[in-house]
Each structure stands twice: as C-alpha cells, then as structure tokens.
C-alpha cells in the first residue's frame, strides 16, 4: 500500500469508528487432495508433511508437489495444500488453463460440478481426474463477528475496491462465513497483479 492508501484507510476508520478493510491473501496454483488420491500419488498410508501454516485455521501448505498434465503441456511442482478434503480439487489461473490446454471454469472452491478433468503425476503414481480443475471465484473468508461488523451474510455477493495506479473494483466477490474463518479476501495471482496489489494490501467491501 502506498502512503495515500494508508491515509485513506485511517480517515475511513476515524469517520466510521471501526476498521473497514479486509487483508488480502493471494493464491498461487495449488491442489487439495482426498486421502485416496494422496496415497495413489505418494504411496499407501502416506500422510502429507507440513511446510507451513496458512492463515485459515488448520490449513497448511504441504512439502509435497506434483506435476499437473494437460492435453497441451504440463506444469511442474504444483503445491499440495492440507489437510485432506472429500474431493480432489486443482485451483489454477486462466493463464495456467491456456498453458495446459483446457477451458478454465470460474467456480467457488468446493464446487467442481461440470469442471474439466486433468492428470496429476506424483512420485508413486498417477491420478486421472474426470473433473476437478477450477479457476477459483474470488471470495472473502470471515467469522460471524466480522460478518456483523461488515453487515454482510454468508453467500452474499459484494464488490471489492482498491486504489492506486492499477486501482479498480472486482464484482461478484462471495462472502463466506464460518466460525473458524480468519478475515481474508482471496484473489489469484492474476487478479492481484491486475490491481497492482500484494499480500500486504487491503481491500474495501462495497455492498451492492
């Protein structure tokens, strides 16, 4: 954030008497695996090894990486995030989709209905997914207390706004409320770069 952004935030806080901005989390391409697929890729009974904790409670970046193989080309060393999920989901950018040779679909994380398939190659085996690769829809994690503070509810669609040389507004940003969530707006790398922001930036919520 430049000095003007910081000043603007301070003025908004003073006027409203509360903190109105949301920290940014920027997602590079990554994979959530179901336990069955972890064992195919890394071996029977394999457990992921934690590299570092992520900001959302219980979530972590694993030491493990795999190769994502599309009909046109491959992307190596794609990071696995833990813990295991019910369904395997591969989250990539639109540039990644073009590189892999698949038609990317913007979906909320967890919704892999009618998404393209992809092949994952690990050190011990290969998983051929018939579906599960998505371009994540931008969203904001928060707990009930933050939802009350911002006056929004789970599933609500808002816009987010950022100032600066590449400033602008993204619509269709989904609010996700859960008692375990930490306040954070998730963009992918292309969305962050297009607005000229990084993980030290904060966004403002604009209600519809």
Q: Which is nearer to its own copies, 170 or 181 (CB)?
A: 170
Query: In the complex, what is the shortest distance from the CB of residue 26 to its own copies, in angstroms, rounded to a whole number?
Result: 11
The verdict on 13 binding its own copies (CB under 8 A) reads no
- Interface residue with its own copies among 38, 88, 89, 93 (CB under 8 A) is 93
C-alpha 24, offset from chain centre: 10
Part of the chain binding its own copies (CB under 8 A), chosen from 11-19, 38-46, 142-150, 185-193: 185-193
What are the residues facing 107 on neighbouring strands? 136
What are the residues facing 33 on neighbouring strands? none
Site for its own copies in 110-139 (CB under 8 A): 137-138
- Interface residue with its own copies among 49, 73, 126, 169 (CB under 8 A) is 169
Query: In the complex, what is the shortest distance from the CB of residue 99 to its own copies, in angstroms, rounded to a whole number?
Result: 11
Part of the chain binding its own copies (CB under 8 A), chosen from 38-46, 64-72, 110-118, 160-168: 160-168
What is the SS3 assignment for 96? helix
- Interface residue with its own copies among 57, 63, 145, 166 (CB under 8 A) is 166
Tokens of 43: 């071996």
Size of the site for its own copies (CB under 8 A): 24
Cα separation, 45 vs 87, in Å, equals 18
The verdict on 191 binding its own copies (CB under 8 A) reads yes
Query: In the complex, what is the shortest distance from the CB of residue 33 to its own copies, in angstroms, rounded to a whole number?
Result: 26
Cα separation, 9 vs 205, in Å, equals 12
C-alpha 197, offset from chain centre: 15
**Kind of pairing between the strands at 106-107 and 168-177:** unpaired
Part of the chain binding its own copies (CB under 8 A), chosen from 54-62, 76-84, 117-125, 183-191: 183-191
What is the SS3 assignment for 83? coil
**CB crowding 14-29: b at 16 or more within 10 Å, else e:** eeeeeeebbebbbbeb
Best CA proximity match to 134, nearest among 99, 97, 100: 97
Interface residues toward its own copies, by CB under 8 A? 93-95, 106, 137-138, 159, 163, 165-172, 188-191, 193-196
């Amino acid at each position: 954030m430049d000095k003007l952004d910081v000043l603007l935030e301070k003025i908004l806080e003073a006027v409203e008497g509360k903190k109105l901005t949301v920290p940014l989390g920027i997602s590079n391409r990554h994979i959530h695996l179901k336990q069955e697929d972890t064992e195919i890729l890394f071996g029977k009974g394999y457990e992921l090894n934690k590299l570092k904790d992520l900001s959302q409670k219980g979530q972590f970046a694993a030491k493990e990486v795999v190769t994502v193989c599309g009909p046109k080309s491959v992307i190596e060393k794609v990071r696995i995030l833990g813990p295991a999920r019910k369904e395997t989901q591969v989250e990539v950018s639109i540039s990644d989709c073009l590189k892999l040779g698949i038609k990317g679909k913007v979906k909320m994380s967890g919704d892999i209905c009618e998404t393209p398939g992809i092949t994952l190659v690990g050190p011990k085996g290969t998983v051929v997914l018939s579906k599960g690769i998505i371009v994540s829809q931008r969203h904001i994690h928060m707990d009930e207390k933050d939802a009350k503070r911002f006056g929004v509810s789970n599933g609500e669609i808002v816009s987010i706004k950022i100032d600066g040389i590449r400033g602008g507004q993204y619509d269709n940003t989904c609010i996700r409320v859960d008692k375990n969530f930490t306040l954070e707006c998730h963009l992918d790398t292309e969305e962050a770069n297009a607005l000229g922001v990084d993980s030290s930036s904060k966004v403002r919520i604009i209600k519809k």
